[in-house]
Amino acid sequence: MIALVHRFYARVRKDPLLGPVFARHVHDWDAHLARLVDFWSAVLRGTRRFSGAPMPRHMALPGLRPALFERWLTLFRQTTAALGNPALQAEADLRAAAIAERFWQQYRIEGRDRPTPAPSDPGERA
């Protein structure tokens, strides 16, 4: 789990699309990585190392959009493929896709997947 999490988030931090998002919100990477190891250990191995509700915290983040979810999954899949463990890769990729889909469904339910209308021009007439 440690290798998966650390390699994945090393990619995320360097990524031009995701890196800035994480940089704005993660201030203690050591603590965050430890929490993520616990999370993925619970998801993939059924351990009880993680407790909490990550969905509300992530849902509160402004500016999340489909391209970010897609990029997160792409980097995750690249990382699992590079680990050379096909069984872990299959299970981790399946779980990551399900997690991303749940987040995206919640964004659609809340209407956050719709584009924000541009402010109207005060000089424009209908």
The stretch 75-103 carries a mean pLDDT of: 96
Residue 36 has a pLDDT of 96
**pLDDT tens by residue, 57-88:** 887 888 778 788 899 999 999 999 999 999 99
**pLDDT tens by residue, 24-54:** 999 999 999 999 999 999 999 999 999 988 8
CA geometry: angle 76, 41, 23, nearest 5 deg: 50
Q: Which domains does the chain have, with CATH numbers?
A: 2-55+64-109 (1.10.490.10)
Residue 106 has a pLDDT of 81
The stretch 3-24 carries a mean pLDDT of: 96
Instruction: Determine the residue type at 117.
Output: P
The string of DSSP codes covering 12-38 is HHH-TTTHHHHHHH-S-HHHHHHHHHH
Average pLDDT of the chain, as a whole number:
87
Does pTM top 0.85 for this prediction? no
